[in-house]
Structure 1
């Protein structure tokens, strides 16, 4: 990367090619943000009437420290100048509001990382926000990240998988809300006075995904006695190769939410639906990425085979046994994939050893994708409730419902005079419990999954706790 010398606000020359986290202002910013987080309520405001509440002067001093640090670091990142100016203005407005519920819409609109996707480009991001699978409160988070946009990926996006909003990213450093299981940076998580008319970017940390995948897969392979093809064994040992697989998987997955024979709101964010509908949508997007990876592999693209096994192993080994069992739609998708492959004799659990028919795995996985795509296509002509039941039938063909389920008993067991959204109340929190296989696997993988909290590329090869 070419280094361009610019003048630091605090004095002295700095280089725009230097790592942000190596500048002395970064730990100052990080420490100030951590201090501020401890004073915030769940909505991001500061309650000065609470026990042990800080004084206005103390909060103002901390915000001043944050502003100073941002202004010192911003010259390292000339592409983020407009955003950092808006950020400082939003911090000042928040202080003028006596630290009420924060509104960072102006700085959110100024932050446009997808407009300049350059491999290795750094960004310093600071927002009041919740972190998915991390902190549910809208506390301030500071993150330094890098864009992952190699030329081969850019070419695929230009010619095949158009996704102008997608940003593959990796961590440099972060505050406490990202020392969690969160692997995304999404604009909809940020505290604003009103949602923008449209979101213009979305970021996924492929380094965390790859590191987590490697650690959990290595342990699952060991526990299950699975013999891997040599090239896949090599992939699991290679952090950079796994990152490349995940960034391609993520790009195709993300665009699939708006491609295909879909209902008007494919991810069902704006309407209340049974959680298996979310599970099928996420699995459809993953299996579409798998299907495209099979095509790329056949064309000689070296990332195609890696994506296939990243999807299979992450979905089968990590997803079903990660998180709690309450409406765990990602876990459900993983259970469904394993059960489908098992019933079609692609995976076998025999003599306490897992065996996979590597030759048939692509064909049968694509077959499940086709079944879900047919469900969606047929659903266009169905009423909502009929579509929900058809989806339930698909899932329950391969996964046993809870014996106490009303939905499993069919329409006659439900009060159909109620609107469909009310019938969601009759869905059990764990409508499709884990099989005996997964109950046992969950116990064996519990510690290694816990060890991936906050994992990054730098910690990927450390021994699991």
Structure 2
């Protein structure tokens, strides 16, 4: 099971379609498009799916093993269609049993039937009967609702059933909209379907068609698996897939039908002997913790602290051979611990070992590091305690190629947890060198680690709960993102890569790392949001360039910003929360996000434009800020945010420059702790999801 589905296209039962273009050209030299699904296969590959053909032999459990979606596209006797010429259009009883068991076990099945189905000499009826679906022997005609005035090229009518309470539901109760961004589809010489009561009928014939109001596409769940049946196979052929919204419909159906990813992605300890030794190291670190003061110095039992540090040093020494690439650094760590003891256990100083730790120089996928420092953990433990963290680098080839090909970010090190001490049993999801206790700050820091596994896990948990609470129906690919830890981790790695580098790119009227400066907190809100809006825009470009993870980055930015950020943390200068509030308010003002009838809806086709428009406003603020004074820029930034997010009625800043003190420090002091309070929408959402958000503390993948 991988993050992206594996699709197997049957070509061993005399099918009239093939995903191999050269075979289609052999089948139909004059018009290969009429027998080719090569474009359909290419569309799936652009989504990240792997696609291959089953070209010979019966369908068996072994053939289906490792396959997430199995596609059967119009098997036919050679009398009626040009076919692959391989096998019989009749499935054996054993093959039908295998497919039924495959679906029951979680597999996905896509079946494309035809008009006048019974004449083709196949037994699709027997196969589909296992799932309660029938194909009626007819040819739909609809002269008033057709393509190119051809009465048998009927335009299907999308049904409300796909986007109501009857929408097909995924893991965790999240509803899916199989017609997301799909409005029109043409069925060329179609039959009709008989569907069971529990099926979701996605398209029907029109009320004026013959037959009228009959199902054309149905989605059915059986056991743990999913089945989609269409009454026409031409709409996804090479000569038709770009008509109307066919390509989007095809991607939605295959992605929805695909086997739901199993929980995985955790960087589990694969070396038992290392795990056992790390457990002893952890125990020594935890015994030292209560003996340390906030600055890391030892104020408790001195002899006990020395004993704990001796155990820590011995533990590092025993673990060091398992991390040979960190040998010089780990040797320096042990020296720093001994020097700390010799100096009387005052404030620790680990500058020498920090200067030798360079994970940025070893970005190798799967490489593990042992990290031991006195440090605070951002958004976690504020005290400078000793922490031990066992990490694993995430650096897949596709990411390395992107970083080398225009998204340079030499300091960025994506990592996952293998194990950690209690300073990371918190909300912290980063490992930064500036958190380590040192005698003096190095001239520059060369790396920053971000735990993509924790980011992904908490994103999935909160987003799924928010979607269920708000009754938001998700496109199938968005639902898959919430279901797959592996996919979410890779998504966050790409998001972080682009976001992180954006801080030093663009029209910057100030130091982008202004969190260290004394400024109104909405300036940092806008900076973080600017980086995310930029990452979203870059993801749109990367999706068009064929990077499959880029589509998921767009969902991740949207959902994390809208659902998790505003309701996470205290309402005291919550800059990330405010960025999410601004994005929601802007999209809501534009009608892209709607909260109506206690249900959230999103116009998915307009989100990218809405994000781009807001990005344009923020970038104009930045560009104009280069020519403004600091005070003027602060006021302009407040005005931009206040245009969409209502400030507190007691805000002095809301009253304008005439109400503000002239002195800069006093201006900052006039900022309310919660200058831009949560809206009633977010107050209600926060109450409902408080326990979910709290449950992500210390979350492991």
The verdict on a shared fold, with TM-score over 0.5 as the criterion, is yes
Shift in Å, 1:57: 2.3
Confirm whether residue 309 of structure 1 aligns to residue 561 of structure 2.
Answer: no
Q: Which runs of 4+ in 1 moved over 4 A?
A: none
Residues 62 and 425 from structure 1, CA distance in 2 versus in 1: closer, same or farther, beyond 3 angstroms? same
1:376 aligned partner: 622
Q: Which residue of 1 aligns with 2:675?
A: 431
1:19 aligns with 2:263: no
Report the CA distance between 1:263 and its aligned residue: 2.5
CA deviations 1:151-170 (Å, max 9, x no partner) are 10001100111000000000
Provide, for residues 384-438 of structure 1, a one-character-per-residue CA deviation record: whole Å limited to 9, x for no partner: 000000100100000000000000000100121x1x2331000000000000000
**What is the TM-score normalised by the length of structure 1?**
0.92
Indicate the residue corresponding to 2:289 in structure 1: 37
Query: Offset of 1:366 from its aligned partner?
Result: 1.3
* 1:46-445 aligned within 5 A: 46-47=298-299, 53-54=300-301, 56-416=302-662, 418=663, 420-445=664-689
User: Does the aligned pair in 2 maintain the 1:87–1:107 contact within 8 Å?
Assistant: yes
Q: Would you say the 8 A contact 1:133–1:181 is kept in 2?
A: yes
How many angstroms apart in 1 are the aligned matches of 2:273 and 2:602?
A: 44
Post-superposition offset of 1:264: 4.1
Distance 1:228 1:18 in 2: 35
Structure with greater proportional helix content: 1
Deviation at 1:380, TM superposition (A): 0.6
Give the distance between the partners of 1:348 and 1:379, measured in 2 at CA: 33
The structural deviation recorded for 1:21 is 7.2
Report if the CA contact (8 A) 1:44-1:128 is conserved.
yes
Task: Kindly name which structure, 1 or 2, has the bigger radius of gyration based on alpha carbons.
Answer: 2
Residue 20 of structure 1 deviates from its aligned partner by 7.3
Q: Is the 8 A contact 1:102 1:128 kept in 2?
A: yes
**Deviation (angstroms), 1:101:** 0.4
Secondary structure at 2:369 match in 1: strand
Q: Which residue of 1 aligns with 2:26?
A: none
Residue of structure 2 equivalent to 1:13: none
Structure 1 window deviating more from structure 2 (216-225 vs 294-303): it is 294-303
What secondary structure is seen at the aligned counterpart in 2 of 1:110?
Answer: coil
Report the alpha carbon displacement of residue 370 of structure 1 after superposing the two structures with TM: 1.4
Structure 1 residues 23 and 182, CA gap change in structure 2 (3 angstroms): closer
Q: Would the aligned equivalents of 2:515 and 2:524 in 1 still touch at CA under 8 Å?
A: no
Q: Residues 60 and 217 of structure 1: is their aligned pair in 2 closer, same or farther, counting only changes over 3 Å?
A: same
Q: Deviations over 1:187-227 (max 9, x none)?
A: 11111111100001000000000000000011000000000
Assess if the C-alpha contact under 8 Å between 2:274 and 2:322 holds in 1: no
Q: Secondary structure at the match of 1:24?
A: helix
Q: TM-score, normalised by structure 2?
A: 0.61
Instruction: Work out the CA distance in 2 between the residues paired with 1:253 and 1:267.
Output: 13
Q: 1:326 to 1:203 in 2, by over 3 A?
A: same
Q: Deviations over 1:51-85 (max 9, x none)?
A: xx31x322111111101110110111111011101
Asked whether the equivalents of residues 232 and 306 of structure 1 are also in contact (C-alpha less than 8 Å), the reply is yes
Cα deviation code 1:316-352 (max 9, x no counterpart): 0000000010000000000000000000110000000
Cα distance in 1, alignment partners of residues 555 and 508 from structure 2: 27
